[in-house]
């Protein structure tokens, strides 16, 4: 089956079929659907073009402390395989995809997000991709590398329960897959301990210092305030620190705080932050290895990888007043 045969059968020109194969605009939806149906029916696959010896690392928004860990992990793998790294930012409209397709990287590693349309463009050009730390649930055929966020949330709550805490608040971000997993870990740990979770102590907030601060203000203003707060990330936890200071509460004597991610700043604050460590650099390295393997045409043993989280206990957690922890 040739591209010319598909064009003749579809009643269109060869350039039109080429546009469909390459994911380019300029073809009506009806024509595109007809050509794609014939491509699928006859099992036609465009011969892969020789790509550049580069790995494209795409951030939705290149900001935040974690980008450094991601870049470090990816560059470590790129040096090992003697390939270059191009760092780009897709932005809210995914504007980087057109440039990405033109560069023809060996593979694409997208941080957190790759839309259905973006995946379609890359598939049309036979450019393999991997999503690192996906923000939303991925289709079964999308390769990804994430972390055991559910177990991380469970470990954080078990630690607080072991210290004697029962009124434990959670500041979460339910819009992100990781945030929902961490909340589910909290709920499971509480249920397993036979302790009912108070819905009033579960507060949604952005994953920022300001988000953690605003959420903590409302929690700490309650007459039955929590004795511990589990934040969905370390930035939120820093906001809890600020709110606690303003409320005249000492950490951990009056309030225990647990974060998530284990950013370097967590070890520098006073008191040093107890947090759940996510091996982000190692996750990025594993995602880069997977992307390059796909770029070489290899079939991986599994498309989805979750790397283990671990609890890092520092000085921001302790037994609540009048209670001796385990």
- What is the C-alpha separation between 178 and 137, in angstroms, rounded? 10
pTM recorded for the entire structure: 0.80
Residue keyed to tokens 């590398």: 145
Based on the fold, state whether residues 108 and 195 are members of the same structural domain.
no
Domain contains 319: no
51 pLDDT higher than 90: no
Residue 54, Cβ neighbours under 10 Å: how many?
18
63 pLDDT higher than 80: no
Task: Give residue 293's pLDDT band: very low, low, confident or very high (50, 70, 90).
Answer: very high
pLDDT at position 37: 86
Based on the fold, state whether residues 74 and 163 are members of the same structural domain.
no
Task: Give residue 66's pLDDT band: very low, low, confident or very high (50, 70, 90).
Answer: confident
Based on the fold, state whether residues 29 and 76 are members of the same structural domain.
no
- What is the C-alpha separation between 254 and 173, in angstroms, rounded? 25
Instruction: Note if the bond before 271 is cis, omega within 30 degrees.
Output: yes
Based on the fold, state whether residues 110 and 38 are members of the same structural domain.
no
Based on the fold, state whether residues 155 and 274 are members of the same structural domain.
yes
Based on the fold, state whether residues 162 and 264 are members of the same structural domain.
yes
- What is the C-alpha separation between 157 and 290, in angstroms, rounded? 33
Domain contains 28: yes
- What is the C-alpha separation between 189 and 135, in angstroms, rounded? 23
Based on the fold, state whether residues 155 and 269 are members of the same structural domain.
yes
Domain enclosing residue 274, as ranges: 149-279
pLDDT at position 32: 87
Domain contains 316: no
| The total number of structural domains that make up the chain | 3
- What is the C-alpha separation between 41 and 29, in angstroms, rounded? 18
What's the average model confidence in pLDDT over 274-286?
A: 97
In angstroms, how far is the first alpha carbon of the chain from the final one? 70
Our measurement of the distance from residue 217's CA atom to the centroid of its chain's CA atoms, rounded to an integer in Å, reads 27
Based on the fold, state whether residues 14 and 75 are members of the same structural domain.
no
Half-sphere exposure in the Cβ direction for 116 (13 Å, CA): 3
User: Average pLDDT over the chain, rounded to whole?
Assistant: 89
- What is the C-alpha separation between 178 and 112, in angstroms, rounded? 10
Based on the fold, state whether residues 268 and 288 are members of the same structural domain.
no
What's the average model confidence in pLDDT over 128-154?
A: 95
Give the pairing of strands 202-204 and 168-172.
parallel
Q: What confidence tens digit (pLDDT) does each residue in 157-168 have?
A: 999 999 999 999
What's the average model confidence in pLDDT over 253-274?
A: 96
Residues 206, 211, 217, 222, Cα dihedral to 10°: 10
Based on the fold, state whether residues 216 and 261 are members of the same structural domain.
yes
Run of H or E including 292? helix 280-295
Task: Give residue 27's pLDDT band: very low, low, confident or very high (50, 70, 90).
Answer: confident
Domain contains 168: yes
Based on the fold, state whether residues 15 and 131 are members of the same structural domain.
no
22 pLDDT higher than 90: no
pLDDT at position 21: 73
Our measurement of the distance from residue 294's CA atom to the centroid of its chain's CA atoms, rounded to an integer in Å, reads 20
Relative orientation angle of helices 280-295 and 66-80, to the nearest 10 degrees: 40
Q: What confidence tens digit (pLDDT) does each residue in 171-188 have?
A: 999 888 999 999 999 999
Residues 164, 169, 170, 171, Cα dihedral to 10°: -140
95 pLDDT higher than 60: no
Supply the Cα-derived Rg of the chain in whole angstroms: 24
| Tokens standing for residue 72 | 């470090």
């Amino acid at each position: 089956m040739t591209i010319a045969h598909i064009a003749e059968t579809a009643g269109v020109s060869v350039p039109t079929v080429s546009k469909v194969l390459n994911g380019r605009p300029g073809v009506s939806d009806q024509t595109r659907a007809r050509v794609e149906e014939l491509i699928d029916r006859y099992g036609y696959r465009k011969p892969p073009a020789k790509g550049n010896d580069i790995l494209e690392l795409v951030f939705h928004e290149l900001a935040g402390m974690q980008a450094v860990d991601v870049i470090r992990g990816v560059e470590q793998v790129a040096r090992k395989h003697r390939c270059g790294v191009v760092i780009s930012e897709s932005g809210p409209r995914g504007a980087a995809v057109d440039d990405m397709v033109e560069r023809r990287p060996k593979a694409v590693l997208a941080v957190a997000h790759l839309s259905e349309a973006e995946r379609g463009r890359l598939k049309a050009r036979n450019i393999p991709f991997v999503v690192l730390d996906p923000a939303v649930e991925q289709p079964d055929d999308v390769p990804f590398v994430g972390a055991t966020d559910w177990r991380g949330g469970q470990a954080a709550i078990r630690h607080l329960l072991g210290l004697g805490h029962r009124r434990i608040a959670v500041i979460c971000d339910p819009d992100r897959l990781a945030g929902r997993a961490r909340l589910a870990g909290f709920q499971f740990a509480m249920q397993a301990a036979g302790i009912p979770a108070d819905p009033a102590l579960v507060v949604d907030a952005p994953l920022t210092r300001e988000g953690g601060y605003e959420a903590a203000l409302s929690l700490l203003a309650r007459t039955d305030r929590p004795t511990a707060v589990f934040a969905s990330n370390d930035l939120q936890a820093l906001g809890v620190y600020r709110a606690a200071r303003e409320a005249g509460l000492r950490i951990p004597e009056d309030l225990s705080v647990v974060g998530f991610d284990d950013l370097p700043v967590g070890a520098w604050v006073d008191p040093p932050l107890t947090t759940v460590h996510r091996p982000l650099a190692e996750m990025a390295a594993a995602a880069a290895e997977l992307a390059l393997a796909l770029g070489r045409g290899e079939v991986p043993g599994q498309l989805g990888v979750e790397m283990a989280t671990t609890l890092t206990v520092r000085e921001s957690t302790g037994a609540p007043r009048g209670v001796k922890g385990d």
